[in-house]
Amino acid sequence: MCDKQGNSRNDANIHPHERDLGPLGWDATWAEAFDHCARQARDARVQPGRVIAVRRGLCDLATAGGTCLASFSGRLSHQTVSGADLPVTGDWVAWRGQPGAGELQIESVLPRRTCLIRKAPGAVDGQPLVANVDWVWLVSSMNRDWNPARLERYLTLVWESGARPVVVLTKADLHPDPDEIVEQAEAVAFGTPIHPVSVMTGEGLDALAAYLQPGKTVALLGSSGVGKSTLTNHLLDADRQATLAVRASDQRGRHTTTSRELFRLPNGAMVIDTPGLRELALWQGDEALEQVFADVEDLARRCRFRDCRHESEPGCAVLDAVAGGELAQRRLDSYRKVKKELLRHEELQTLQGRMARKQREKALGKLIRDFSNR
């Protein structure tokens, strides 16, 4: 057997799980992370696997012996600080148990390379969506769903995750001037690949093959009804994901995907289809903000004052650019909104951390008093 450089590899140097899990993206780095987890657990019985889907607290887990049902061990549930630390689709995990003899038990989650995290609806904590993906296709249809401001939010989410975004504009056959939408996308997605496609006509689909490499994982993200499941079915060359017809009233498909699920394509690449997001509240994104709004950030460096808020300050290069037509007012409004949201959430996280610390100190003080009164 030879490695990527063509050098001969001794079978003794091959990790025992490489042959079986390699098609799922397993490599030497994952093997090292798993060995570390196994040593920490002090349990030679644990085995690696990849989460294919999570449904009501149970996981479809791909293992060297096939796909099995797995649940979270009591140890994992007890030790996790928040729900964000529990397995999600795409995670690599350490499990133990006997396949075919009941549910497997997931003992730990291997450190994630990438992770898409939004703010959990109605909460301060982050909610992981998928993990360990290489590319994220931001899917938007070329009809009434198209919204540049929403694309900016999706881009912020993906850049912060560590994965690489790709904009996929579906239903190009339904728009009289697809180039118009592409130009609008280019104005907000600097340096991000943009592909107008149509599953109905086949337009643009060949260009997507460049991202679908064996062992690599692509996640599809977007609103309900934009054609994610239709695109997944095309890639699988099978109707694995249920779809419904487009509504004539608004040219939108109807939401059918109910869970995030990983599929293996015939060529060895992997695709994660996801339900449409009704709400995308950002959890983190300070670094991603500079990537997504590079035009605004570049202008901001020319402002007279370093702490310029780009509202009414003298010498504001951003406001001058808007007045001169160099920067769209909509773009500045979107930048302000995203930055304000991130700042507000950071303040809430800080407040929550202080409250949690205060509660711990209070509990510790009570414990000390109780011990002293014995």
Whether the Cβ atoms of residue 283 and residue 119 lie closer than 8 Å to each other: yes
Whether the Cβ atoms of residue 327 and residue 295 lie closer than 8 Å to each other: yes
Tabulate helix, strand, coil % of the chain (nearest 5): 35, 20, 40
Q: What is the DSSP string of 180-215?
A: HHHHHHHTTSTT--EEE--TTT-TTGGGGGGG--TT
3-state secondary structure of 339: helix
Single-letter amino acid, residue 14: I
Tokens of 245: 């017809």
Binding residues: 170-173, 222-230, 303, 308, 310, 316
Q: How far is it, in rounded angstroms, from Cα 95 to Cα 97? A: 7
Binding residues for GTP: 170-173, 222-230
Contacts of residue 344, Cβ cutoff 8 Å, sequence gap at least 6 = none
Binding residues for Zn(2+): 303, 308, 310, 316
Whether the Cβ atoms of residue 224 and residue 95 lie closer than 8 Å to each other: no
Contacts of residue 59, Cβ cutoff 8 Å, sequence gap at least 6 = 51, 52, 53, 69, 70, 71, 87, 93, 106
3-state secondary structure of 110: coil
